[in-house]
Chain A
Amino acid sequence: MTRRLAFLLFALTLLAASQSKSAPAGVLGPQDVKDILPASVFFQGQSAPVQMRNSGGVRTAQGKLILAALVDTSGYASNVAEKYQAYLLTEVEIKIEGKALPPGAYGFGFVGDKFNVMDIGGHELLNVSAHMDAELHRPVPLRVAQSGSAYRLYFGKKFVEFAPA
């Protein structure tokens, strides 16, 4: 009886583990990432809350995560808040508009028609042109969407394309 129970528990554990690993690849929404993202994030000298309702990401075919979320940046000085709007966590190297970004935690923002990625010290690492999706119906503050074999990171109607390298 004891051996039978032990076997059952072992089987259930294996099943749970396999389900965790086999979480489907693709786009993630706020409900998918709310238990993964930290409640607040550090950037340039202070921490600020993450807006879970405005979050999203991608789970790669290998189970690696790329996550993004808006941050409440009202507490930052104007010159920081102007360029820092959101947080990016990636477990894999990605290419944003063709430019490589290694795994790590970053701040980013859409400023004018540019998309900037900064390290958590506020130093600019990547600067590319953003696009405007004028036809996008009912835009939301932040959203990740599939775009062919790549993905789009939307900030309202603005977006950049990215993909795992």
Chain B
Amino acid sequence: MLLLLFPLHLRSQQAAAPVVKAGQPCPAAMKVPQFVDVTAQSGIRFHHDSAPEKKYIVESMSGGVLLIDYDRDGWPDIYFTNATSVEGALAGKTARGALYHNNHDGTFTDVTEKAGVATPCAFAMGGAVGDYNNDGWPDLYITCLGGNVLYRNNGDGTFTDVTRQAGVADGRWSTGAAFADYDHDGNLDLMVTNYVDFHLTDLPEFGSKPTCKFRGLSVQCGPRGLKGAGDSLFHNNGDGTFTDVSKQAGVSDPSGFYGLGVAWSDFDRRGAQDIYVANDSVPNYLYRENKNFTFTDVGLESGTAVSGDGLEQGSMGVAIGDYLHTGYPAIFITNFADEYNTLYKNNGHYQFEDVSYQAGVALASVPYVGWGTAFADFDNDGWLDLFVANGHVYPQIDTLPSGARYRQPKLLHMNQHDGTFCDASAQAGAALMEPRVSRGAAFGDLFNDGHIDVVVEDLDGGPMVLRNTGGSAGHWISLELSSPSKNRLAIGALVKATAGKLVQTEEVRSGGSYLSQNDLRVHFGLGTAQKVDEIEIRWPSGRVEKIAGLKADAFYAILEGSGVVPLKRIQPAPDQPPR
């Protein structure tokens, strides 16, 4: 084990902040970060095209949003996926996704056509960002119904569809995707989850079967009652092509579970890349890497397949984070209404514990269908908070006299430094309370002001760019990692930041949330600390590097083997041809 694990310091590390009972509204004295809807000012005019009636399940599941710094200027840009209606698809229509360039002044410019990423397919779901060809330019993988698309970043503001050459189309109804270098050969591999076996030529008719009913109402069919689809692991051959190794690797999902969110993480800090798959309505998978580049599902044994009470949940999104400062990352899963979002505390050695209710993140989530989510330190106090985007799948439920509504507010859980969270959803600005039909959510510092912002994609309307205007005056640090020749975005790197008694860990992670991609930069809140005593990085290559004495409130570029470098040094040359 390269990184030493450390004991729980919890509240003793921080000046005592007021604490309320887990799950209660946050204390008035807490400086809750304020999220302001700046979509209108941002110039983003994207609109999701799905059919308002949602008569088919494929019309309910899109909405992944990806942060991709495609021009490597140090400012996150945004890609929104889009999906048409079944009727539209049958008429040969596609749906226009959109890439927005960050203008560094709070506004964005639609560069979709120039970039060549407008219409990957009729039903684009989500995707992931990774540099599959090691040229330093982040590439874009979009999941679709009927064939995914890999866009190679040409480094000049344009992308080229290289799916056919690469061999990563899959062809089923793909949803989640995430890159990682699980075999440590320096080339990013790709895990893709698939949902149900769905064909436009054989449509499950609205309300036609018992599994197309909800509380007695006719609704879209599925996923229950529909055949599932297996998952795919594509091994990167290092020459621009991939090989589907799902079966030999043990992650093909022969049970045909309904896969959605997916994330890689080194859950036991062994220097291995494990996989977590959130499955809808069936048990989730935790694939432990066997140290021979095959995987074993330890979901049930680890306690992460079902809830702590042993019940299967309708899982959608996945967040991973070391919210307790134990060194081991916890797993947070968003679930269907009348269940609850599940927080699995990581006790080490692949043993997890459902602490959702004790931690105070369960009860508030029960009325909602949860989707995009992340652990992030929204108030820069050095402790990871939780955000959840919600929205039901059946518009028809609004005809019921009571119960969950179709449009739903968002949830913000603030970390109280003692293993519990308070509920700040109603204290973080009016935007979070606005009911929406939200799906994907991506998290990152859009405005490079040291605060983690959120971009949420909604169905039946436009997205929401939520600018975090701060709350506390906590210090922070942001790290952009790069390796010199292989896995140049350093996906899978593990970073430990020590600032006084605050010791935090985070990974550079592709994919995650609900079919979305977060900012690849690693952000640490530092509380009152004005510098980071030590940054320890375990690079994907295995090299461990330590950097001492970084001042707070700054962005740093770190090149493997060279320490802190000017940002320019980790940026690929503009005229460097794609490999």
Contact = CB atoms under 8 A, between A and B. Distances in A.
Interface of A: 46-49, 53-54, 72, 74-78, 81, 136, 138-141, 154-157
Contact of A77 (B209, B215, B300): B215
Interface string B430-471: 000000000000000000000000000000000000000000
Interface of B: 209-216, 224-225, 255, 282-283, 300-301, 303, 306-312, 403
A140 B307 CA distance: 9
A136 B300 CA distance: 13
Given A47-B210, A48-B210, A78-B216, A140 B224 contact: no
Nearest to A155: B310
A64 to B, nearest CB: 28
B207 to A, nearest CB: 10
Given A53-B283, A139-B308, 16 more contacts: A49-B211, A49-B225, A54-B312, A75-B209, A75-B214, A76-B213, A76-B216, A78-B216, A78-B403, A81-B215, A138-B310, A139-B306, A141-B310, A141-B311, A157-B309, A157-B310
A77 B312 CA distance: 20
B213 A156 contact: no
A138 B303 contact: yes
Given A49-B224, A78-B216, A138 B300 contact: yes
A138 B301 contact: yes
B211 A139 contact: no
A55 to B, nearest CB: 13
Contact of A74 (B211, B303, B307): B211
Contacts of B224: 49, 72, 74
B210 A46 contact: yes
Contacts of B255: 53
Contacts of B213: 74-76
Contact of B306 (A48, A74, A141, A154): A141
Contacts of B307: 156
Contacts of A74: 211, 213-214, 224
Given A49-B225, A53-B282, A140-B300, A75 B310 contact: no
Contacts of B225: 49, 72
B309 A156 contact: yes
Contacts of B211: 48-49, 72, 74-75
7 contacts: A75-B210, A75-B212, A75-B213, A76-B216, A77-B215, A139-B309, A156-B309
A67 to B, nearest CB: 19
Given A49-B225, A77-B215, A141 B312 contact: yes
Contacts of A141: 306, 310-312
A115 B278 CA distance: 30
A52 to B, nearest CB: 10
A25 B213 CA distance: 39
B171 to A, nearest CB: 26
A136 B211 CA distance: 32
| Most interface-central of A47, A48, A75, A140 (chain B CB within 10 A) | A75
A108 to B, nearest CB: 16
| Most interface-central of B211, B300, B301 (chain A CB within 10 A) | B211
A85 to B, nearest CB: 10
Contacts of A47: 210
A138 B211 CA distance: 29
Contacts of A81: 215
Contacts of A157: 309-310
Nearest to A156: B310
Given A46-B210, A49-B211, A49-B224, A140 B310 contact: yes
Contacts of A77: 215-216
B475 to A, nearest CB: 42
Nearest to B211: A75
A156 B225 CA distance: 23
A49 B224 CA distance: 9
Contacts of A49: 211, 224-225
A47 B312 CA distance: 21
A138 B286 CA distance: 14
Contacts of A155: 310
A46 B225 CA distance: 14
Contacts of A46: 210
A140 B283 CA distance: 9
B310 A76 contact: no
Identify the 4 closest CB pairs spanning chains A and B, nearest first. A139-B310, A75-B210, A156-B310, A75-B213
Contacts of A154: 310
Nearest to B301: A138
A155 B311 CA distance: 8
A96 to B, nearest CB: 20
| Most interface-central of A46, A139, A154 (chain B CB within 10 A) | A139
Nearest to B283: A53
| Most interface-central of A49, A136, A141 (chain B CB within 10 A) | A141
B210 A76 contact: yes
A46 B311 CA distance: 24
Contacts of B216: 76-78
A133 to B, nearest CB: 10
Given A53-B282, A72-B225, A156-B310, A78 B210 contact: no
Given A49-B225, A53-B282, A74-B224, A156 B311 contact: yes
B423 to A, nearest CB: 26
Nearest to B216: A77
Nearest to A48: B210
A103 to B, nearest CB: 26
